[in-house]
Amino acid sequence: MQRPSPLLLLAAGFATAFVAGSASNQVVEASGSGVVSVAEIDADGDFLPDVVEWVTLTDSGSPDTDGDQISDFVEVIASGSPRRESLPLPADQQLRLFVTGPTPGSSDPFTWMHVFHRIMPVGGVNPGVGAIQSFNLWLENPALPGVQIPLNDFAAAGTVYRERITIDEGIWIQVSVPLVSLSILEAILPCTIWAETTVAGQQLQSGQQLIPVPAGAATLVPFFDGRYVIQTLNPVPSLSAPQSIQANKVCILTLDEDTSGPAGTTYVVTAADCEDANDLECDSSCSQSVGWTITIPGGTELLGGN
C-alpha cells in the first residue's frame, strides 16, 4: 500500500478556527481537557505565549524587551523592532503568523500554529473579531512551484482562542492550533506557510518560512535593518553550557536576491555575524552560513506581515 506523502500528512494536521462573540480573555479549548497548553503559557503577560517569544527573539520575562515603552506584542505584530528602541509605528489592522516547536520537557509533542490579529477602531467603533471578513491559510513548497496547498478545511482538537481589549492599542486576538509532530513537519521542509485575511475591508498577509538546519526545523525571522535570523522552532541545548541550560544560537544574516522563478525568490547569504539578543548565545558556526541559498515563495516582503 502506498504511504501518504509528508505534505498531505502535514495538511491533515492543520486547523484554523476563529470564534465570534467570545468574551475578553476567554480561552476556548476544543479538546475540553482543561489542560493548559503551551499556547496559553505567557510568563510576562504581554499576550505573546512564551513559545512565540522564542521564535521572535523577544524576552518572555519582560513585556517590553527593549524598554522603549512599546509592548512586545504591538511591536511584533506591527513588524517593528521589539529588540531595539524605536519610535511607535502607525496603529492599523495587523496580522502575524508563527509556527513553534515542542517545548523541551513538555508532554506536548506537537508543533503549533499561532495567528494574531490587532483590530483597530473604524469610524470610532471597534467590532473586534466581527471585523474579520475572510481568512485563508495555505502552504507553499519549492518542490511544487506555484501550488498553494489550502489548510483552512482541516480541523484539529485543542484550539486556543484568547482576546484582550486595550484602551489605546485596539483589540488583540490570538488563535492557536496544534499541528503535527516535529518529525512530520521536518519531512516537508523547506516550505512557507501563509495567512491572508480581510479586516474591515483591508487585506492583510503574513508568512513564515520554515527551513531545515542541523539542529532541526527553523524559521527565518526579520531582525533589524533588512537582516534576518535563522531561529530554531524550539530551544536547543547549548554546546558550551551544561545540557540542562537552554541557549539560543543567534546568527544575523544579510540576504541578497539572486534569482527569481516559479518556486520563488532565491537569496544568497552574503554576511553572517553574531549579535546580542537578550543575552543569548551565538553558535560558533555562524560564519559558515555565508554562501547558503534560501528560496522563499513570494520573497521576503511578507515574512513579517501586513
**In-domain check, residue 185:** yes
> String of b and e for 53-76 (b: at least 16 CB within 10 Å)?
bbbbbbbbeebbbbebebbbbbbb
**In-domain check, residue 252:** no
Number of compact structural domains in the chain: 1
Using an 8 Å Cβ cutoff, are 98 and 114 in contact?
yes
What are the start-end ranges of the H helices in 136-247?
182-187
Q: Find where cell 489550502 sits.
A: 150
Here the CATH number for the domain that contains residue 87 is 2.60.40.10
Tell me, yes or no, if the pTM score tops 0.95. no
**In-domain check, residue 265:** no
Domain that holds residue 65: 6-211
CB-based burial of residue 169 (10 Å sphere; 0-12 exposed, 13-18 middle, 19+ buried)?
Answer: middle
Backbone φ and ψ of 150, nearest 5°:
-70, 140
**In-domain check, residue 300:** no
Cis check: omega of the bond before 82, within 30 degrees of 0: no
Q: What tens digit of pLDDT does each residue of 186-230 get?
A: 998 989 899 999 999 999 999 998 988 878 898 988 887 778 888
**In-domain check, residue 297:** no
Using an 8 Å Cβ cutoff, are 177 and 111 in contact?
no
Q: What tens digit of pLDDT does each residue of 53-108 get?
A: 999 989 999 999 999 999 999 999 998 888 888 888 888 999 999 999 998 877 88
**In-domain check, residue 158:** yes
**In-domain check, residue 292:** no
